[in-house]
Amino acid sequence: DAGVIQSPRHEVTEMGQEVTLRCKPISGHDYLFWYRQTMMRGLELLIYFNNNVPIDDSGMPEDRFSAKMPNASFSTLKIQPSEPRDSAVYFCASSTLHHSYEQYFGPGTRLTVT
C-alpha cells in the first residue's frame, strides 16, 4: 500500500483565496483524521470521520473551515477565505477499527497564506 496520500505537498496562496487540501486514506481504513500543526499550538485535531461520517468537528477553528469525505477513499479540507494565521502543516491520518490502533499519517501539506 502507498500509505496515506496528501496533495498538494506545498501550497502558497494569497489571503482571501480558497484552499482545498486532499487526502486519500489507506485502503480498508475506516477512520480518517485531519490535524493541524503549528509551532505555537502543536498538533491539533480538527475533525475526524468514521465510515465517511463526521464524528467530531469540535476542533475546526471556525466556519471558514469545512471538511468532507464523499467516499471511503477521499477526503477534503477546505478553507474559504484563507487568512495568514491559517499557515501551518496540515496532516491527514487514517486508522482501522478503533482504540489503540496506530494512526498512519500522510506526509502533510505545508500551507502558507500571504
Check residue 102 for interaction with another protein (CB under 8 A): yes
CA 100 to chain centre: 20
* Closest CB to another protein among residues 41, 85: 41
- Distance in angstroms (rounded) separating the CA atoms of residues 14 and 6: 21
Q: Which helix (H) or strand (E) holds 100?
A: none
Spatial separation of the C-alpha atoms in residues 21 and 109, rounded to whole Å: 7
H helices then E strands: how many in the chain?
0, 11
Minimum separation from the CB atom of position 25 to another protein (A): 14
Q: Binder to another protein among 91, 94, 111, 113 (CB under 8 A)? A: 91
Task: Evaluate whether 34 touches 60 at the Cβ level (below 8 Å).
Answer: no
Number of residues near another protein (by CB under 8 A): 21
Closest CB 33 distance from another protein, rounded Å: 8
Applying CB under 8 A, which part among 14-22, 62-70, 74-82, 85-93 lies near another protein? 85-93
Question: Would you tell me which residues interact with another protein (CB under 8 A)?
Answer: 31, 33, 42-43, 45, 48, 50, 55-56, 89, 91, 93, 95, 98-100, 102-103, 105, 107-108
